[in-house]
Each structure stands twice: as structure tokens, then as C-alpha cells.
Structure 1
Amino acid sequence: MHVQVVLLDGFDPLDVIAPYEVLYAGGAASAGAVSVELVSAEGPREVPSGAGSLTLRATGALDPERAGVILVPGVAGRFGEPGEVPERDAGHGEWQQPDEFLSVRLDRAMSTELPALLKAAMENPAVTVATVCGGSIILAMAGLLAGRHATTHHQGLDALDSGGAHAVRARVVDDGDLVTGAGVTSGLDLGLYLLERERGPRIAHAVEELFAHERRGVVWRDQGLAPVGF
């Protein structure tokens, strides 16, 4: 299983690093049956995160034709709307910059080749698209989640509904060739679940034990009896 973890300007570092490290460890535990790389829509480049001066390097171009998993993170930033008057940050005495708003960074992602590449990936039966946190909002903004079950950070669930998705308040949602994670730390659980689903529970358990992390909650699927009275 090859995993392409997408870097985009303003990405949330934990959305990337948590699943990357879990999947990398899964590759070591499986004697190379899992491989993972950092990519961008533009190809190899230094990509700035949305957290201070932290940058990561994409070593390749996102390839929607390559079989495996494409993992899309969300962006980091402040809640607010474009054009909103910046306010002084009481903690640091600095002005908020409009380009730090989540809405601006999401719109910036929409202006790149990323939406078209993700559309091609979701049309490829050999590819599973996975997201962490606001990564699913990027798919929704691109019109790629209509009728699909997905989750995201709890503050973004309405955005999924607005994008035509069936928003699910769960830690991880498995909708077949679409697997989505909720808030930023869910990237750990998403990575472990992908290992279990694609390479088996023994590999996933070994990595879970290595990281001293126990997955939270039930992976939601559109299966079984529907609950009554909830």
C-alpha cells in the first residue's frame, strides 16, 4: 500500500505528521508492505504550514493515477471571514492577519490544481481517499462529497452538510473508498485504522503498542441496524 500525504499551503502540521508517522511505522512493521511520501499538487517544493514558520518538503507530485491511498489534511488558522477587521491578539499584542483565517486558506487551496487532482483520484477505483480534520471540507468545497458519509472537526460538520455530504459525528468514518477522520488528533486513529483495514490487525496493533496510543471510539460505517431513540 502506497500512501501519498498531500501538503498544501497552510496545512495543519499534526494532520500530516500524526498519520505519516503511524503509516511509516506500519511500513517498518510490515517489511515494506506500506510506503508513504509527502506530495503536493505542484510537485517537489517547500510547503509552509499554518503554524508559525514550520515548513515541510514535498518530495513528489500528487499522482491520482497511482494505486493506494491519498491522504488530505486540513489547514491551520483562525476562525473568521475574509474582509473581517483584524483584532489585536490579547496574548501576544499582535494584529491578526487576514490571510491567517481558515476561510482564506481553504479558498487558496481551491484556486490550485488540488481540486482537479482529488476529483481524478476519487474517480479512480484503485485509490482510497482519506482525510484528517478539514481535509474533508476541502473535498466538500470541491463538490466531491455529495451523498457521501464523512466526518471532520466538530466545528466544521455544518460545512460538510452544506457541501451535500452526510456529516457523521464520529472519530473515523469508513465510506468505502473514502475514509475520514475528525479533529486533528484523529490522524493517529485514522492511520492505525488504515493499517488494520489494508494490512491487518496484527500490524496495526504492533504500531499502536509502539506509539502507546489506544484508538478511540467505533469506526462508523453505514451498516447494520439503525439506532432507535437517539
Structure 2
Amino acid sequence: MDESVHRKEPPMLRAQFVLFDGFDPLDVVAPFEVLAASGKLAVELVSADGPGVVRSGVPGLALTATAAFDPDAVGYVLIPGAAGPVDGDPDTGVETIPALLSRFASGDAKPLLRRAFDNPDNTVVTICGGSLALAMAGLLEGRTATTHVLGIDQLSAAGVNAVRARVVDDGDVISGGGVTSGLDVALYVLERDFGSHAAHAVEELFEYERRGTAWKAERDGVLQGSTSGVGENE
């Protein structure tokens, strides 16, 4: 009898999108669809608080986390940014993006994020302000990353080697720039870890062409830039 008939396939790598109150929905939905369409990953919405509805920073829009955030899983942990005003008076009830990110970075998710960073079988991926949240949690000091152009100075002030690019690859940490960079980040992950054919198939399906610059950190600490698509980081 052919033993291959009874051989179990290894479990798929997981891609966990970590939701928190005030997250930016586009940071989640766009890369979620890209990774799910590839068929290479088990993609899911999770929360440090476990399953449940999580409100986004866009009024009237929420997503449902179907599982608890598992930092010990094998695969990818994806951290979105927040949506809302950049400035505002908290005494008037305004929830600014910095306040939302800070609350997430200092809350129940913080020890889980640390464990995800310490997990050698994980790659942490951020979109837009997600890298700022990790910097606020003290997890990116000395690392190379990018974020939305409005947060580059804040990222640098947190001890991060901040690079203005569409995608920055620092090994087990991959970060993206502004909101729509989630598409490019997810396609970059597919190309880097599953081959150009996997990324190209999704690009064709979505009728999308990658843009901007991708930077990759070399082992000697020197950054090597490569252009993917056209245009600048936004």
C-alpha cells in the first residue's frame, strides 16, 4: 500500500492580524485578502482579548476576531495602524491615532507582542502605524522599519532606524508605509517567502501593480534598496 495515502500534510503557516480598538480597517482588509488569495497561509483575525467584535477607528465599521492572539504559533503576526485624527484634545473625548496606538502598545497585547518577537518561528509584519505601536512598546529599538510619512520622526525618536520606503525588510520584522502599503507588504511577503510566482498570481487576480521602494537590511547592517513598481512612499 502506498504510504503517501496516509501521510498527513503539515499544518499551514498562520497569518494572525491582531485587532485592537481603533485599528485602521484598510490596514487589515487589504493585506488579509492578498494573503488569503494566495492559498499559502491560514489567515485569521485575532485579538489579545480573545474572540469578539472589535471596533475600528472608522465610525460604524467593526471586524470580528475569531480567535485569541497566539504569539507561540508558527507563521506571521500582522499589526495594523490606527484610524482617526492625528491631533486633538483628549479632554473632549477625541481619540487620536497616537493615543490609540499607545493604549494598544501598553495594554494586554504588550506581553503577547514580546513573546511573538521572541518566537523564532514568527515574522512580525506591520502596516502603517503598526510599527509605531511596536516602537511604543519598546520592541523596535535598534531595528530598521518604516511607517506612515507623518510618523517617521516619531519612529526615529523611539530609537528605530526609520527609513522612508514603501516596504522595509529587516529579517524577522517587515514594515510598510502608509495605509495602502498593506497591499505591497503582503505581496512582498508572498514573493520573499513563497516565490515570485505566488505574488504574481495574486497581482494578476487583483489587477494591481506594486509601487514604491522596498529596502532590505543586509547582514552587515547596510541597507540595500530596490525599486518595485513606480511612485513614492505614501
Give yes or no for the alignment of 1:39 onto 2:51.
Answer: no
Counterpart in 2 of 1:115? 110
Equivalent-residue separation in structure 1 for 2:34 and 2:119 (angstroms): 25
Q: Is the Cα contact below 8 Å between 1:174 and 1:219 reproduced in 2? A: yes
Aligned amino acid, residue 135 of structure 1: G
Distance in 2 between residues matched to 1:217 and 1:181, nearest whole Å: 11
Q: CA deviation at 1:70?
A: 0.2
Equivalent-residue separation in structure 2 for 1:142 and 1:6 (angstroms):
15
2:135 & 2:114 partners in 1: Cα distance? 11
Per-residue deviation, residues 56-114 of structure 1 (Å, max 9, x unmatched): 00000111100100000000010115546x5xxxxxxxxxx412x11221232134211
Q: State yes or no: 1:181 paired with 2:181.
A: no
> Would you tell me which structure has more strand in proportion to its own residues?
2
* CA contact 2:215–2:224 (8 Å) conserved in 1: no
Distance 2:33 2:224 in 1: 35
> Of 14, 31, 34, which aligns to 1:19?
31
What letter matches 2:30 in structure 1? A
Aligned-pair Cα RMSD in Å: 1.6
1:79 is aligned to 86
Separation (CA, whole Å) in 1 of partners of 2:196 and 2:99:
40
5+ long unaligned stretches in structure 2: 1-12, 226-234
Contact 1:129 1:178 in 2 (8 A): yes
Q: 2:58 aligns with which of 43, 48, 51?
A: 51
The alignment's TM-score, normalised by the length of structure 1, stands at 0.87
Where does structure 1 lack aligned partners over 5 or more consecutive residues? 28-32, 87-96
Residue 26 of structure 2 corresponds to residue 5 of structure 1: no
Q: Aligned AA for 1:14?
A: L
Q: From the superposition, tell whether residues 214 and 70 of structure 1 become closer, same or farther in structure 2 (CA, over 3 Å).
A: same
SS at match of 1:65: coil
Contact 1:82 1:104 survives alignment (8 Å): no
| 2:101 counterpart SS class | helix
Q: CA deviation at 1:225?
A: 7.8
Query: Letter of the aligned partner of 1:22 in structure 2?
Result: V
- Given that 2:14 and 2:41 are in contact with CA atoms closer than 8 Å, whether structure 1 keeps it comes out as yes
Aligned to 1:98: 94
Q: How does 1:53-68 map to 2 (within 5 A)?
A: 53-68=60-75
Match of 1:148 in 2: 143
Taking a change above 3 Å as real, the CA distance of residues 103 and 82 of structure 1, as seen in their structure-2 partners, is farther
Structure 2 partner of 1:90: none
Residues of 2 paired with 1:10 and 1:226: CA distance?
A: 34
Equivalent in the alignment of 1:215? 210
SS of alignment partner, residue 217 of structure 2: coil
The C-alpha deviation readout for 1:161-181, integer Å capped at 9, x for no partner, is: 111100000000000000000
Letter in structure 2 aligned against 1:52: P
1:201: how far off?
Answer: 0.7
Output the amino acid matched with 2:185: L
